[in-house]
Amino acid sequence: MANRLEFQSANFAREFEALLASKREADDDVHDAVTAIIGDVRGRGDAALLSLTAKFDHLDVANVADLAVSKGEMNAALDGLDKDLRAALELAADRIHSFHEKQLPQDFAYQDQAGIELGMRYTPVDAVGLYVPGGKAAYPSSVLMNAIPALVAGVGRRVMVVPARDGVTNPMVLAAAALAGVTEVWRIGGAQAVAALAYGTQTLAHVDKIVGPGNAFVAAAKRQVFGQVGIDSIAGPSEILVVADAQNDPAWIAADLLSQAEHDEAAQSILITDDAGFANEVALAVNHMLPKLERADVAVRSWEDNGAIITVPSMDDMPALANRIAAEHLELALKNAAGWSKKIRHAGAIFLGRYTPEAIGDYVAGPNHVLPTARTARFSSGLGVTDFMKRTTTVGCDVEGFAAIAPSGVALADAEGLGAHALSMRLRMKR
């Protein structure tokens, strides 16, 4: 049974803090093992990739080139899809592409009052690595969400790595890669794939940034290679906060909560409602649905260990709690959801109204489903086009513009004790 918290209870503050502080990530200490794997790939390159892939994925090939997936294989996977499934994947891709096109930033340039030319321009990274898990489940939707923003940003080389245990690669994943314009696909995974992307091998060229979720080994590897390459984030277990009043169908809300619980035993689903009777109805609906789920064993663990139902006396008490939770996904199943959303500062994505379940955002709405977890929505955002771009500023001074601001620059350089800085400006002031 999920935790039940009553806002008006004397213990609420303590119980709510415990909910926020709960550690849901695995405690696996894989740092040393990952360090060894990265060192092996850096030292031996292709040979390390081959031996590690044989060891962990039971895929034994003669050359790293044999781990590459051909364009023909990707296109064949796309062509082999059921007609309706392909149409659904294409609809999702089109909507994701359209939404992310609108994120493209605009360069700007202007001349200020001193006559100095100032500007900023955006350019894509040259190459990005897209990590796709190949463990408990395969997620072609995540291929679209990671690859399409990179395509829209103008990244020239978009490299996908995916573990292929016993040589088997999910055809839906390959189909999504073809549809999203991935330029290379490699059957490698784990920390060794991250290391190869970061440092390169004799056959697989390095990239500039690595995005995408993975297991504890992948997360640790991304942490360790950060600085050599950029990374998106370290993704934690999925989470959802549903805010719902008694005007909702309890079964709808129960299903929304379970849509995240079925992801992972460590996922978290929370309901906030202002009606105790409705809270009970949702809890009953969850218990009714759980045994019928395909991933019931996972969802039961998640709901019982990490789930929570919070009852507040008024929805006016909700925004402060929601902002503290800073959920990855926030559903506002309320009348005037747009109005309530203006009171929310911290959430990865907000889903407005009774007909906008979080699940629609996972697939076909258009905004990215790669979102900040573990309360990091307080300071970070979901994956987007600008994650694959850099900002470069430009400054241009003529004689008059330089003369107008250089004396202040000299004064500041002198104050900081940086004589060469001051000298480089003083010399030009004498002309």
Q: What is the pLDDT of residue 309?
A: 98
Domain covering 3-25+237-365 in this structure, CATH number = 3.40.50.1980
Q: CA neighbours within 13 Å on the CB side: how many for 344?
A: 27
Rounded-to-integer distance, Cα 20 and Cα 241, Å: 12
Give the tokens for residue 258: 């379970």
Backbone angles phi, psi at 269, to 5 degrees: -125, 125
Q: What is the pLDDT of residue 138?
A: 76
Is the fold of 3-25+237-365 the same as that of 31-106+124-231? yes
CB count, 10 Å around CB of 260?
29
Place of tokens 């659904």: 88
Query: Which residues are catalytic, by number?
Result: 328-329
Backbone angles phi, psi at 156, to 5 degrees: -75, -35
CB count, 10 Å around CB of 336?
10
Rounded-to-integer distance, Cα 236 and Cα 332, Å: 23
Backbone angles phi, psi at 373, to 5 degrees: -115, 175
| pTM for this predicted structure | 0.94
Contact assessment for residue 282 and residue 271, using Cβ atoms and an 8 Å cutoff: yes
Domain ranges of the chain: 3-25+237-365, 31-106+124-231, 397-429
Task: Name every residue whose Cβ is closer than 8 Å to that of residue 199 and which is 6 or more positions away in sequence.
Answer: 38, 41, 42, 206, 225, 228
Q: What is the pLDDT of residue 358?
A: 97
Task: Name every residue whose Cβ is closer than 8 Å to that of residue 22 and which is 6 or more positions away in sequence.
Answer: 268, 306
Sheet holding 389-396, edge to edge: 108-111, 117-124, 389-396
SS (H, E, C) the chain: CCEEEECCCCCHHHHHHHHHHCCCCCCCCCHHHHHHHHHHHHHHCHHHHHHHHHHHHCCCCCCHHHHEECHHHHHHHHHCCCHHHHHHHHHHHHHHHHHHHCCCCCCEEEECCCCCEEEEEEEECCEEEEECCCCCCCCHHHHHHHHHHHHHHCCCEEEEECCCHHHCCCHHHHHHHHHCCCCEEECCCHHHHHHHHHHCCCCCCCCCEEECCCCHHHHHHHHHHECCEEECCCCCCCEEEEEECCCCCHHHHHHHHHHHHCCCCCCEEEEEECCHHHHHHHHHHHHHHHHHCCCHHHHHHHHHHHCEEEECCCHHHHHHHHHHHCCCEEEEECCCHHHHHCCCCCCCEEEECCCCCHHHHHHCCCCCCCCCCCCHHHCCCCCCHHHHEEEEEEEECCHHHHHHHHHHHHHHHHHCCCHHHHHHHHHHHCC
For 109-134, letters b (16+ CB in 10 Å) and e give: eeeeeebbeeeeebebbebbbbbbbb
List, in sequence order, every residue forming a beta bridge with 127; answer none if it has no partner. Answer: 157
Name the pairing type of β-strands 389-396 and 117-124: antiparallel
Per-residue pLDDT in tens (0 to 9) along the chain, 431 residues: 789 999 999 999 999 999 998 866 655 689 999 999 999 999 999 999 999 999 999 999 999 999 999 999 999 999 999 999 999 999 999 999 999 999 999 999 999 999 999 999 999 999 999 999 875 567 899 999 999 999 999 999 999 999 998 888 999 999 999 999 999 999 999 999 999 999 999 999 999 999 998 888 999 999 999 999 999 988 889 999 999 999 999 999 999 999 999 998 999 999 999 999 999 999 999 999 999 999 999 999 999 999 999 999 999 999 999 999 999 999 999 999 999 999 999 999 999 999 999 999 999 999 999 999 999 999 999 999 999 999 999 999 999 999 999 999 999 999 999 999 999 999 999 87
Rounded-to-integer distance, Cα 364 and Cα 151, Å: 18
List, in sequence order, every residue forming a beta bridge with 5; answer none if it has no partner. Answer: 310
User: What kind of fold does domain 31-106+124-231 have according to CATH?
Assistant: Rossmann fold (3.40.50)
Rounded-to-integer distance, Cα 169 and Cα 89, Å: 18
**Which is nearest to 91 in space by CA: 362, 384, 366?**
366
